[in-house]
Chains A and B, each alone.
Chain A
Amino acid sequence: MIRARGLARTFTSRRGAVHAVQGVDLDVARGEVVGFLGPNGAGKTTTMRMLTTLLAPTAGEAQVVGCDLRTDPVGVRRRIGYVPQSGSSSPEARVGEELVDHAALYGIPKATGRTRGQELFSRLDLDGVWERTVRTLSGGQRRRLDIAKGLVHDPELVFLDEPTTGLDPQSRANLWTHISGLRDSHGTTVFLTTHYLDEADALCDRILVIDHGTIVAEGTPDQLKQRVSGDAVELELDDATRTGDALALVSALPGATDAVVDTSGATPRVRVRVPSGGRALPGLLRQLDAAGVALAAVDVQRPTLDDVFLEMTGRSLREGGEG
């Protein structure tokens, strides 16, 4: 569905050149849900704007749904749907009219637009809002209206730019269900940008991690997590004088790395990374018990996409700073 090679975009101004995207290669297969993950300013939206013909690349080439981005942008526009981050409807407009008007720009007759719109509204739990004005919709309903507009011409590929930014947790979870349904029920290919780790983890078959305009990692969520060596085991000790004994025991575990003592909190903690926390824990607990090291709590953490990002870039995605 998407094949891009060396896609790049440089913005030039009086203050100099900004290389927003620097030679991105990417492939998206039919029916995939692919996430483009990165902090603000990493190049996600610029890449998406190039792939949706809103911005011309300064270098590289791309085929989107079989059409060349440079030579056939209108062909690309006919075949894709796009849900922009900033919304897509006038607050004063009536909801149903917005959808039918948008469909008309794809050459869809009014009656067909209305029928398709009502089907989409039913799918997206927007029943009963057709005659309302956009400004009366909740944030979640507005995002679903945006998605309905992006799907009204039945595109093969839909781009979602930060689909859940600004939504409350309940609306986010609800929207995730609908996005998953696009592929599962209708076979639509989805390419979405996000800076939410849980969103990428929950929705995407494959994730591309972008930072400073280049793709730094690519794979399924599990593949990416496996790049970070193992699980983190954290022991919270009852007795601060026994941290040395606990550290010695965890350091001796097979494949143990990054063993550290953390005394910054109210209770001392010992952390270690091991290939499998679940397998290491029973033996470790027996050894600690035998050595008389009393524990207040134990925690095993699987690696997150943030750990992946930290390993790839040396900084946390949660920092969310301008990348």
Chain B
Amino acid sequence: MRVFWRDTWRVFWRAMRMSLRNPAWVIIGLAQPVLYLVFFGPLLEPLAGQLGTGNAYQLFVPGIMVQLGIFGAMFVGFGLIAEVRAGVVESQRVTPASRTALLLGRVLRDVVVLFVQAVLLVLVALPMGLRAPLAGIVLGVVIVALLGASLSSVSYAVALTVKSEDVMAPLLNAVAFPVLLLSGILLPMSLAPGWLETLSEINPFKHVVDGVRSAFAGNVTATDSWVGALITVALVVLGLWYGTRTFRRESS
């Protein structure tokens, strides 16, 4: 086990070092949610009462945090395709290092990057008017980071399977957009007509968004918060299982 964590640390640190060498990507990854915050957030302020809250950013910031988690993590596979092409993955797979460590080290790097981005997003949102309890913010950031672990595992697995950016890009977009639209990220799904709300109920990410919103509203121990957290944990388990299975597969 010690060897496993040592290998995970080595892979994590190698990946982290590459990210630190290009911190611009962390900032660029934040650009879209910050733009939403700055250009879309003010439109919601007058509607706060209709949305059932006194603070529109309590609804909106959790949504774009989850969006950051979904988009930030789902696209990390592109980096792995470049590593496959450069022969890095094959040269690592012929070492005695555990296949799971080769995945987990990369996933942990993505979790750290997402964590930093989520914290920065909250820091940008606070002066704009976000009001939320610290415990709620902490739970929300943790949920987003865990969501990132799940989706980056899936992204790596898909990347190893398709090994082509041309296939990966439309595939991810085809999945990510319906997921986002049915998650109530921009506006709560409670505003949707019955059929749309019912449809969104089967989307696990909708419950994750609800959970983060509940936490930001100060209801850290409420059912919505815990359901969101539990679904996120389940997604982490599923994502890591799928990713590990793919990394172990011989032809990867």
Residues of A that sit less than 8 Å from B by CB: 52-56, 74, 77-78, 80, 82, 84-93, 97, 101-102, 104-107, 146, 149
Give A78 Cβ to nearest chain B Cβ, in Å.
5
B87 touches which of A87, A93, A106 (Cβ 8 Å): A87
Whether A90 pairs with B83 at a CB distance below 8 angstroms is: yes
A52 touches which of B88, B92, B94, B96 (Cβ 8 Å): B94
B131 at the interface (CB under 8 A from A): no
Once bound together, how far apart are the Cα atoms of A238 and B34, in whole Å?
85
B221 at the interface (CB under 8 A from A): no
Whether A105 pairs with B10 at a CB distance below 8 angstroms is: yes
Give B162 Cβ to nearest chain A Cβ, in Å.
15
Whether A90 pairs with B92 at a CB distance below 8 angstroms is: no
Set of chain A residues within 8 Å of B82, measured between Cβ atoms: 90
User: Which chain B residue lies CB-closest to A159?
Assistant: B94
Whether B94 pairs with A90 at a CB distance below 8 angstroms is: no
Set of chain B residues within 8 Å of A85, measured between Cβ atoms: 87
B50 at the interface (CB under 8 A from A): no
Whether A105 pairs with B97 at a CB distance below 8 angstroms is: yes
Set of chain A residues within 8 Å of B97, measured between Cβ atoms: 105
Set of chain B residues within 8 Å of A91, measured between Cβ atoms: 86
B245 at the interface (CB under 8 A from A): no
B88 touches which of A77, A78, A90 (Cβ 8 Å): A90
Whether B7 pairs with A105 at a CB distance below 8 angstroms is: yes
Give B136 Cβ to nearest chain A Cβ, in Å.
38
Give B11 Cβ to nearest chain A Cβ, in Å.
8
Q: Please choose the segment from B13-21, B66-74, B111-119, B180-188 that sits at the chain A interface, where 4 or more of its residues have CB less than 8 A away.
A: B13-21
How many contacts A-B (CB < 8 Å)? 72
Whether A90 pairs with B86 at a CB distance below 8 angstroms is: yes
B165 at the interface (CB under 8 A from A): no
Give A276 Cβ to nearest chain B Cβ, in Å.
47
| Interface size class of chain B, counting residues whose CB lies under 8 Å from the partner chain | 20 to 34
Given contacts A82-B94, A92-B22, A105-B95, contact A97 B17 (CB under 8 A): yes
Given contacts A54-B94, A106-B96, contact A86 B18 (CB under 8 A): no
Once bound together, how far apart are the Cα atoms of A233 and B231, in whole Å?
80
Set of chain A residues within 8 Å of B96, measured between Cβ atoms: 74, 77-78, 105-107
Once bound together, how far apart are the Cα atoms of A86 and B92, in whole Å?
13
Whether A86 pairs with B87 at a CB distance below 8 angstroms is: yes
B250 at the interface (CB under 8 A from A): yes
Whether B88 pairs with A89 at a CB distance below 8 angstroms is: yes
Given contacts A55-B251, A105-B7, contact A90 B18 (CB under 8 A): yes
Whether B95 pairs with A106 at a CB distance below 8 angstroms is: yes
A102 touches which of B95, B250, B251 (Cβ 8 Å): B95
Whether B92 pairs with A89 at a CB distance below 8 angstroms is: no
Give B85 Cβ to nearest chain A Cβ, in Å.
7
Given contacts A92-B21, A101-B10, A107-B3, contact A53 B88 (CB under 8 A): no
**CB-defined A-B contacts under 8 Å, sample of 5:** A56-B250, A74-B96, A78-B96, A105-B92, A105-B96
Residues of B that sit less than 8 Å from A by CB: 3, 6-7, 10-11, 13-14, 17-18, 21-22, 82-83, 85-88, 90-97, 250-251
Whether A80 pairs with B94 at a CB distance below 8 angstroms is: yes
Whether A88 pairs with B21 at a CB distance below 8 angstroms is: no
Set of chain B residues within 8 Å of A56, measured between Cβ atoms: 250
Whether A82 pairs with B14 at a CB distance below 8 angstroms is: no
Whether A82 pairs with B91 at a CB distance below 8 angstroms is: yes
User: Which chain A residue lies CB-closest to B21?
Assistant: A92
- Most B Cβ at <10 Å: residue of A78, A86, A88, A105: A105
Set of chain A residues within 8 Å of B11, measured between Cβ atoms: 105
Set of chain B residues within 8 Å of A54, measured between Cβ atoms: 90, 93-94, 250
A55 touches which of B18, B86, B250 (Cβ 8 Å): B250
Give A152 Cβ to nearest chain B Cβ, in Å.
10
User: Which chain B residue lies CB-closest to A86?
Assistant: B87
Give B160 Cβ to nearest chain A Cβ, in Å.
13
Given contacts A54-B250, A55-B250, A101-B14, contact A89 B95 (CB under 8 A): no
User: Which chain B residue lies CB-closest to A133?
Assistant: B21
Whether A88 pairs with B90 at a CB distance below 8 angstroms is: yes
Given pairs A77-B94, A77-B95, A146-B91, 7 additional interface contacts (CB within 8 A): A84-B87, A84-B94, A88-B86, A88-B90, A90-B82, A90-B86, A105-B95
Given contacts A74-B96, A93-B18, A107-B6, contact A84 B91 (CB under 8 A): yes
Give A233 Cβ to nearest chain B Cβ, in Å.
46
Once bound together, how far apart are the Cα atoms of A86 and B13, in whole Å?
24
Set of chain B residues within 8 Å of A97, measured between Cβ atoms: 14, 17
User: Which chain B residue lies CB-closest to A93?
Assistant: B18
Set of chain A residues within 8 Å of B7, measured between Cβ atoms: 105
Once bound together, how far apart are the Cα atoms of A115 and B167, in whole Å?
43
Whether A102 pairs with B94 at a CB distance below 8 angstroms is: no
B91 touches which of A78, A88, A92, A104 (Cβ 8 Å): A88
Once bound together, how far apart are the Cα atoms of A85 and B91, in whole Å?
10
Give B70 Cβ to nearest chain A Cβ, in Å.
26
